[in-house]
Amino acid sequence: MEILNNPSLKGKPVLVGGGDRGVVAACSYEARKFGIHSAMPMKQALQKCPSAIVTNASRGQYSHYSRWVTNLIAEKVPLFEKASVDEFYVDLTGMDRFFGVNNFAQELRAHITHTTGLPISCGIATARFIAKMATNEAKPNGFLAIPPGKETAFLWPLSIDKINGVGEHTSQLLKSKGLYRIEDIARTPIEMMSAIAGKWGESLWEKAQGKGSTTLHTDWEQKSISHEKTFEEDRQDIPFLTQQLLELVEETAADVRSEEKMSGCITVKIKYHDFEVSSKQETIDYTVLDDVLQAKAKALFTELYQTGRKVRLLGVRCSQLVPISLQMSLFDQQVEKLQLYQAMDALNDRFGKNTLTKAAHIRNNRDDKTEDAAHN
């Protein structure tokens, strides 16, 4: 994407992220040749490649292109899953009767590249994870089709490190057992794989046999998470309503994070004392951070609320949910904030809601009580 904005960067090692104290949000394939990868400390990346060019990008740009590609796919394909901001699974069953699967996929890829200017890598296979592996092997900007019956011929020569989900710890564990290639896993009894890595070991064995799911989760856009609160008595005081709104956003965002999702749309709902309902939504850059969502919710509430009217209920909904993307969470160097929120979520889940809360909430609650006492 950075090369689209600045063509002079083409063919050069490029790092996307903040300064020396930040981390790499994304990097060009030229940079990857030096062993650089996403989430690597920027200082370490520059040590590996001192000539790398560091540039900044925003979540907004990535959200824009993500939605653009989504719309282009939706125009051409009846059944697809948006697995993340930059990854899609498409069901091409039946396409061979009319177009030929490979031809259709290549035409779709060419159409997206021509329209957006983005490089698109594409893999075709009989199972999701094999298509993903084929896509990885096709990068950058390539196409690879694995014919039915050729799954193991493709998979077995590959290193275990190329299996999605095999991190450094699992890789070291498997290699300590003499398992270096996918073929090694395939030829190991499933009982032994279970003893080595439990259920994940069994899953790896299944994958190594060239077996995998073909199911697409096509309801990703329809899913939403929401929370509402009906007050014991109708309220019209802005500090109270704002505080309730922020807490609803916090609760909703925690549920979104528990699903390991990000939201691309937020809605605020107001039900007045006479049961009239009004709502307003806004498409946003993909995020799951409380402060970002709260700022959007407050702005929507300000636009929506009819001053002086008593409110019976407030509601918040997060929709257009997609899996959390490492790259998206690294933009603006917000990965630490995401990890903090996730740690707070874990403690609240374990010890009860509101075990940990933000200092601003405590302060606002005290202000509310002081104001109520003054009114009395």
Distance CA 256, CA 11 (A): 38
Band (pLDDT 50/70/90 cuts) for residue 368 is very low
Q: Is the pLDDT of residue 328 over 60?
A: no
Q: What would the DSSP string read from start to end of 280-323?
A: EEEEEEEE--HHHHHHHHHHHHHHH--TT--EEEEEEEEES-EE
Residue 296's pLDDT is what? 95
Residue 293's pLDDT is what? 94
Does 108 reside within a domain? no
Domain CATH code at residue 193: 1.10.150.20
338: Cβ–Cβ under 8 A, 6 or more apart, which residues?
288, 289, 324, 329
Does 117 reside within a domain? no
371 and 228 in a common domain: yes
Residue 371's pLDDT is what? 37
* Among 200, 223, 206, CA closest to 322: 223
Does 16 reside within a domain? yes
371 and 230 in a common domain: yes
367 and 232 in a common domain: yes
Domain CATH code at residue 15: 3.40.1170.60
Residue 18's pLDDT is what? 63
Residue 19 CB burial class (10 angstroms; 0-12, 13-18, ≥19): exposed
* Among 360, 344, 239, CA closest to 289: 344
303 and 197 in a common domain: no
Within 13 Å, how many C-alpha atoms sit on residue 150's CB side? 10
249 and 168 in a common domain: no
Does 96 reside within a domain? no
Band (pLDDT 50/70/90 cuts) for residue 362 is very low
Q: What is the mean pLDDT of the chain?
A: 84
Question: Out of 2-6, 32-36, 73-77, 188-192, which region has the weakest mean confidence (pLDDT)?
Answer: 2-6
Residue 79's pLDDT is what? 86
**pLDDT (tens digit, 9 = 90+) per residue, 32-53?**
999 898 778 888 999 999 999 9
242 and 197 in a common domain: no
**pLDDT (tens digit, 9 = 90+) per residue, 128-184?**
999 999 999 998 889 999 999 999 999 999 999 999 888 888 999 999 999 999 999
361 and 234 in a common domain: yes
Q: Is the pLDDT of residue 341 over 70?
A: no
Does 131 reside within a domain? no
364 and 345 in a common domain: yes
Distance CA 318, CA 263 (A): 6
Domain that holds residue 195: 147-215
Residue recorded with tokens 């528990």: 258
229 and 351 in a common domain: yes
Most confidently modeled range among 10-24, 259-273, 348-362:
259-273
- The phi-psi region of residue 88 (left if phi > 0; otherwise alpha if psi is between -120 and 50; otherwise beta) is beta
- The answer, as to whether pTM is greater than 0.75, is no
Of the two residues 325 and 239, the one the predictor is more confident about is 239
Residue 357's pLDDT is what? 61
Band (pLDDT 50/70/90 cuts) for residue 218 is confident
165 and 198 in a common domain: yes
Residue 318's pLDDT is what? 94
Residue 7's pLDDT is what? 81
**pLDDT (tens digit, 9 = 90+) per residue, 253-302?**
999 988 888 898 999 999 999 999 999 999 988 888 888 999 999 999 99
260 and 211 in a common domain: no
Distance CA 71, CA 283 (A): 15
275: Cβ–Cβ under 8 A, 6 or more apart, which residues?
312
279 and 186 in a common domain: no
87 flagged as catalytic: yes
Q: What are phi and psi of 73, to 5 degrees?
A: -65, -45
Catalytic, out of 87, 137, 202, 221: 87
Domain total of the chain: 3
Question: Out of 201-215, 218-232, 304-318, which region has the weakest mean confidence (pLDDT)?
Answer: 218-232
Q: What are the start-end ranges of the H helices in the chain?
A: 2-5, 29-32, 42-48, 59-76, 101-116, 128-138, 151-155, 168-176, 182-186, 190-208, 238-258, 290-304, 326-330, 335-351, 359-375
